[in-house]
């Protein structure tokens, strides 16, 4: 939770105040979180696993696509 609160307070809300969309704010926070988590996991273990970092980064576009599909599926019963 401390990392979430820090990124929300110091990254997400300032981006919103500067006029960026919520999606951009979420994406930036997600990418920073992925970078920090990879760093904090790889330094103590002395192991950098690029595949794990890339797998985290691939989740962002998947979440965007999933949200768009979910909106279409929820709207389809209303169209019938």
pLDDT, tens only, 46-61:
777 777 778 777 887 8
Q: Model pTM?
A: 0.62
| Highest mean pLDDT: which range of 16-20, 28-32, 41-45, 52-56 | 16-20
Between the two ends of the chain, the Cα-to-Cα distance in Å is 43
pLDDT at 77: 61
CA 56 – CA 52 distance, rounded (Å): 6
Catalytic residue numbers read: 37
Contact call for residues 40 and 34 (beta carbons, < 8 A): no
């Amino acid at each position: 939770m401390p990392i979430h609160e820090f990124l929300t307070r110091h990254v997400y809300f300032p981006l919103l105040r500067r006029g960026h969309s919520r999606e951009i704010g979420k994406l930036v926070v997600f990418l920073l979180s992925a970078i920090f988590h990879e760093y904090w996991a790889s330094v103590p273990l002395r192991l950098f696993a690029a595949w794990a970092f890339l797998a985290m980064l691939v989740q962002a576009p998947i979440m965007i696509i999933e949200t768009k599909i979910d909106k279409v599926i929820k709207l389809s019963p209303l169209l019938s």
